[in-house]
């Protein structure tokens, strides 16, 4: 790790703030440099003097201090960082980040920030489990914020449970992982995942059983490999993967609009099980049964093909467009035809017959299909398959990018 990696560390007001001192020490041992913002609350637990002695730099705390602003304004503080870390991240600062509040130097800097953010939550276990905190964490994750911890164990308040600040060495490890340039660093990826729901009326829809497990795992693997990844997800029970920007949509039309919005991109992976059809007419009110009447007939309209649209996006076409082919027979043959028809570069073809357990299951077995042929990949967990695909993509760009 080069000595020039710069971390802007925000120490918020939690009892675990003292551990942030160890984070600085361990991080510096590993070549990181630190600028530190100590919030008012943080300064109740550790002194600016100890932070400055350990970091080797002046500590920042006051948004309105003229000297601080003259020497190093809050904008420059974030612009000069490679990574922004909040440790400990209290329920309060997490809520402020989620809602965009900017009432002190730390939160103003966070709002003016365009660098990757890693937070290490720390709080009482009941606070951590509170739906408000969990909703805020979900919001931050959906925006691409990385989290490390919290862990389980004895808490400073005397209770036991989830909420302990991650070990300082683990926090430094997570920082180094975020700072290491992954093989896909500098590339932009978009991934579609999950089913689409096509509304019949305000309460009914046409959908499918896609779990989103494979698409979400791919988005996570691309982000972990350093690609700036946007995940466009239909309704699934899968949590938002770390490090991705996640856009939640319901219908194929919304998925297409979100995918087009995410262009330009270098890589597009369409793993979503997009509904091929939608009701041609959306009933504005819930459709009622008529006494002794016929069941309604639902006329269908064809949905746009997102994969084919991206592959035909002209100058906006991602350099690598990858699709999936769900087949129940003659898998490779049908997938080759699909690849040619949809004009994508690669297809991962899988057998989705019920006996394979692929739909909704944790494993997948695919044929990897390119213009030059088909390769049978072994049965892998969806996560392993995602990692293998990410490595393949890195290979591809390693070869084709000058």
Query: Between residues 117 and 191, which has the closer beta carbon with respect to ligand CTP?
Result: 191
- Kindly indicate which of the ranges 42-50, 153-161, 318-326, 366-374 contains the residues binding ligand CTP, using the contact rule CB under 6 A: 318-326
Are the C-beta atoms of 397 and 184 separated by less than 8 Å?
A: yes
Whether the bond into 63 is cis, omega within 30 of 0: no
Q: Does 326 bind ligand CTP (CB under 6 A)?
A: yes
Query: Between residues 276 and 384, which has the closer beta carbon with respect to ligand CTP?
Result: 276
Residue ranges of the alpha helices (H) in 64-208?
Answer: 66-71, 74-79, 91-99, 105-111, 125-129, 131-142, 168-179
Q: Does 307 bind ligand CTP (CB under 6 A)?
A: yes
- C-alpha 348/C-alpha 339 separation (Å) is 10
Residue positions annotated with a catalytic role: 157
Cβ 27 to ligand CTP shortest distance, Å: 42
Cβ 50 to ligand CTP shortest distance, Å: 54
Query: Between residues 60 and 324, which has the closer beta carbon with respect to ligand CTP?
Result: 324
- C-alpha 127/C-alpha 130 separation (Å) is 5
- C-alpha 231/C-alpha 223 separation (Å) is 10
Cβ 374 to ligand CTP shortest distance, Å: 16
> Would you give the binding string for ligand CTP spanning residues 255-294, x where CB under 6 A is met?
---------------x-x-x-x------------------
Are the C-beta atoms of 374 and 367 separated by less than 8 Å?
A: yes
In the list 34, 128, 324, 359, the residue contacting ligand CTP (rule: CB under 6 A) is: 324
CA 359, distance to chain mean position in Å, is 22
- C-alpha 143/C-alpha 328 separation (Å) is 37
- Kindly indicate which of the ranges 49-57, 230-238, 319-327, 394-402 contains the residues binding ligand CTP, using the contact rule CB under 6 A: 319-327
- Kindly indicate which of the ranges 9-17, 284-292, 303-311, 378-386 contains the residues binding ligand CTP, using the contact rule CB under 6 A: 303-311
What tokens were used for 313?
């996006």
At 383, phi and psi to the nearest 5? -70, -45
Binding site for ligand CTP (CB under 6 A): 192, 252, 270, 272, 274, 276, 303, 305-307, 323-326
């Amino acid at each position: 790790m080069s000595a020039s990696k710069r971390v802007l560390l925000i120490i918020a007001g939690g009892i675990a703030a003292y551990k942030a001192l160890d984070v600085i020490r361990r991080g510096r041992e590993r070549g990181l440099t630190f600028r530190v913002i100590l919030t008012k609350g943080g300064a109740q637990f550790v002194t600016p003097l100890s932070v400055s002695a350990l970091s080797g730099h002046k500590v920042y705390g006051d948004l309105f201090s003229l000297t601080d602003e003259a020497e190093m304004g809050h904008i420059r503080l974030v612009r000069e960082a490679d990574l922004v870390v909040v440790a400990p991240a209290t329920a309060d600062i997490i809520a402020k980040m989620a809602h965009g509040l900017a009432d002190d130097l730390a939160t103003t800097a966070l709002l003016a920030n365009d660098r990757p953010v890693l937070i290490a939550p720390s709080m009482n276990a009941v606070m951590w489990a509170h739906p408000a905190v969990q909703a805020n964490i979900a919001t931050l994750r959906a925006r691409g914020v990385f989290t490390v911890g919290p862990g389980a164990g004895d808490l400073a308040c005397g209770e036991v449970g989830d909420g302990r600040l991650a070990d300082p060495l683990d926090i430094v490890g997570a920082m180094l992982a975020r700072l290491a340039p992954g093989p896909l660093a500098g590339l932009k990826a978009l991934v579609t995942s999950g089913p689409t729901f096509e509304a019949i009326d305000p309460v009914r829809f046409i959908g499918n059983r896609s779990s989103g497990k494979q698409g979400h795992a791919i988005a996570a693997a691309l982000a972990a490999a350093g690609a700036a990844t946007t995940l466009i997800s239909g309704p699934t029970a899968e949590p938002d993967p770390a490090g991705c920007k996640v856009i939640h949509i319901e219908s194929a039309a919304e998925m297409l609009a979100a995918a087009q919005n995410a262009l330009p991109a270098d890589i597009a992976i369409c793993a979503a099980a997009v509904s091929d059809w939608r009701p041609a007419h959306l009933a504005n009110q819930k459709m009622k049964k008529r006494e002794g009447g016929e069941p309604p007939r639902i006329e269908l309209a064809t949905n746009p093909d997102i994969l084919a649209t991206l592959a035909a996006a002209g100058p906006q076409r991602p350099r690598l467009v990858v699709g999936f082919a769900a087949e129940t027979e003659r898998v490779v043959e049908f997938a080759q035809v699909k690849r040619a028809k949809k004009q994508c570069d690669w297809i991962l073809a899988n057998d989705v017959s019920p006996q394979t357990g692929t739909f909704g299951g944790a494993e997948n077995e695919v044929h990897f299909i390119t213009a030059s042929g088909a390769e049978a990949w072994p049965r892998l967990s969806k996560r392993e398959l995602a990692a293998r695909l990410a490595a393949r993509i890195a290979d591809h760009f390693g070869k084709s990018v000058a």
